[in-house]
């Protein structure tokens, strides 16, 4: 468990169309390190039809990293209560069903998160939806009780839809896609 936490203890950084906000900025390093978020690098070079503002990019990066941290904790502990803060809609529903399935089967999944290379590809004109492509290095271990039944390490791709709420961005769709998807 501690090992998993250490793996998650990485920093988030943002690259926005040539503007880079990274962990060397005063205050940011400490804050994100304390939160033990997965590393997320966001690029928005080919984003359309609306450009992304710096603050929005920072918020999306942080909230997406936070969502993955919650996902890892929830799938390892089989607790659905940690999914409510950054997941909504279909993404939350699917993860909840996955956790319920894991509980019934007495299995759990442990994610080792090697970092996300995220590309923002669609941001609607009204600012109501943002689509992201994520390429993540994952080490996935599945346990039946205490017995390790599967261990794999792979690059996985995800198509993500995020929407803004009153104080954060929510992950509404998180769909793993094939290697040829993007």
Contact flag: residue 152 with other proteins (CB under 8 A): yes
Report phi then psi at 52, rounded to 5. Answer: -105, 140
Closest CA to 39 of 135, 175, 160: 135
Contact flag: residue 43 with other proteins (CB under 8 A): no
Structural contact between residues 46 and 8, judged by C-beta atoms closer than 8 angstroms: no
Exposed (0-12), middle (13-18) or buried (19+): which is 42, by Cβ within 10 Å?
Answer: buried
Site string for other proteins, 83-102 (x = CB under 8 A): -------x--xxx-xx--xx
Closest CA to 102 of 79, 84, 85: 79
Residue closer to other proteins, measured from CB, 26 or 178: 178
Structural contact between residues 171 and 87, judged by C-beta atoms closer than 8 angstroms: yes
DSSP element (H, E) containing 68 = helix 54-77
Q: How many other C-beta atoms lie within 10 A of the C-beta of residue 2?
A: 6
Q: Show contacts with other proteins in window 99-128 (CB under 8 A).
A: 101-102, 104-105, 107, 109, 121-122, 124-126, 128
- The residue from 114, 142, 164, 168 that contacts other proteins (CB under 8 A) is 142
Contact flag: residue 77 with other proteins (CB under 8 A): no
Number of residues interacting with other proteins: please give it, by CB under 8 A.
Answer: 39
User: CB of residue 19 vs other proteins: minimum separation in angstroms?
Assistant: 25
Q: How many other C-beta atoms lie within 10 A of the C-beta of residue 64?
A: 26
Residue closer to other proteins, measured from CB, 95 or 171: 95
Residue closer to other proteins, measured from CB, 31 or 142: 142
Which chain residues interact with other proteins by CB under 8 A? 49, 90, 93-95, 97-98, 101-102, 104-105, 107, 109, 121-122, 124-126, 128-129, 131, 133, 140, 142, 144, 149-150, 152, 154, 156, 159, 161, 173, 175-178, 181-182
């Amino acid at each position: 468990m501690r090992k998993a936490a250490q793996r998650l203890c990485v920093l988030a950084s943002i690259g926005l169309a040539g503007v880079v906000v990274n962990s060397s900025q005063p205050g940011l390093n400490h804050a994100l390190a304390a939160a033990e978020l997965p590393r997320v690098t966001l690029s928005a070079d080919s984003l359309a039809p609306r450009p992304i503002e710096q603050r929005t990019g920072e918020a999306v990066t942080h909230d997406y990293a936070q969502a993955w941290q919650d996902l890892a904790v929830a799938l390892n502990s089989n607790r659905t209560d940690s999914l409510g803060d950054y997941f909504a809609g279909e993404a939350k529903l699917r993860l909840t069903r996955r956790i319920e399935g894991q509980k019934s089967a007495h299995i759990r999944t442990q994610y080792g998160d090697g970092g996300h290379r995220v590309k923002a590809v669609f941001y609607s004109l009204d600012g109501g939806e943002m689509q992201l492509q994520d390429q993540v290095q994952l080490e996935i271990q599945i346990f039946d009780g205490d017995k390790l039944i599967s261990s794999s390490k792979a690059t996985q791709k995800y198509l993500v839809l995020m929407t803004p709420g009153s104080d954060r961005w929510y992950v509404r769709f998180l769909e793993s896609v094939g290697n040829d998807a993007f």
